[in-house]
Each structure stands twice: as structure tokens, then as C-alpha cells.
Amino acid sequence: MSDQPWFSGWRLTLARLLSLIAVIAITIYIFSIRDQVDQLESYGYPGIFLLSILANATVILPAPGIALTFTFGAVFNPLGVALAAGSGATLGELTGYLAGFSGRGIIEDNPMYRRIEAWTDRYGGWTILILAFIPNPLFDLAGAAAGALGMPVRTFLIWVWIGKVLKMLLFAYAGSASIDWLINLMGGTP
């Protein structure tokens, strides 16, 4: 019998290659349907969930997930919006994780990636939570670092979910409060 684990060698290489292909395919698909995404708004919380998956599944390309959460917070219950948007955003971030799992070669020469990878290696989930909470374009690098470092998917998802839901709570409640403020500013009644 071999001393190597079952998921090593060619199986690991194949899994990494398939992960990279999946990330590229998802990014291309989301980019190709960007004009039809607005129709999901009419589906309420499930639409918010799906929009958040799409907004966060693009690797490196920016998407308006926070703006949607802010807007929907003014229309729907902000807590429900935050839970739907945060949960969708968490699943969407799996593409960054898979990109890192598939191999570091594409981004490992980036100095910011190396810094985030060192933070993730040293502080683990806390790095993921903080970067998921702070609105920034660097979270894809954090997801890639987590995947490259072999952080268990479940651990990654838990930390991302906490950070994303907390962030979405702030934006959903800000949207809810802002609409009342704008209506009052214009002399209307909420």
C-alpha cells in the first residue's frame, strides 16, 4: 500500500485544474448575463440571495453587491436583506477559494497577495472575517490564500459568513435609515 493520501498526486492536480476551469467559466457566465441580472430584483429575498452570489462570484472583477444591499435595505426588512445578501455573498466567494485551491501560480507574484497569504497563515479565520467585513477589493486574494493554504472549506465559509452578514447588516440598515432621511429631507412623509 502507498503512504500517500487518496487525494494526492494526479487526483489533486485534476481537482485543481477543474477548480480553475470552474472559476473561469463562472466569471465568464456572470459577465455574459449581466444585463439580465436586474430581473432577479422582483424575486424578493431569494433574488437578493442570487444577486449576492453573482456579485461575489466574479474573481477580481468588481460587482455592485453592497449597493444592492443598501438599496434593498430601504425596500425590504434590513435583517432579512442582510441574511440573504450575506449568505449569497458567502457562497459566491467560493470562486476565490477555488482559484487559490487550483494553484497559486497566477497571483503568487503579487505583493499584496503574499501579504494577505501571510496574514491568513498566521491569523487564520480572523483574517478572513476582517477582510470579509471591510468593503474592499482584496477579499478575492484572501479567498485565494485560504484555498492555497488548505483552509478547510467549512472553516472558510463560517468565517466569511460572519464577516459578510455583519457587513450587509450595516449597509442594509444604512439603506433603510437613508430612505426615511431622504424622504423627510424632501418634505414628504415616509
Predicted TM-score (pTM) of this structure: 0.74
Please answer whether residues 52 and 84 qualify as being in contact, where contact means their C-beta atoms are separated by less than 8 angstroms. yes
Could you tell me where the DSSP H helices lie in 93-152? 94-102, 111-123, 125-133, 139-148
Length of the chain equals: 190
Q: How far is CA 34 from CA 27, 38, 39, 168, 180, in A?
A: 11, 8, 10, 22, 30
pLDDT value at residue 2: 46
Q: How far is CA 70 from CA 81, 132, 149, 153, in A?
A: 9, 17, 33, 28
pLDDT tens readout for residues 130-185: 999 998 878 888 998 999 898 999 999 999 999 999 999 999 998 888 876 766 76
| Most confident residue range from 39-48, 94-103, 169-178 | 169-178
Query: What is the C-alpha separation between 100 and 105, in angstroms, rounded?
Result: 9
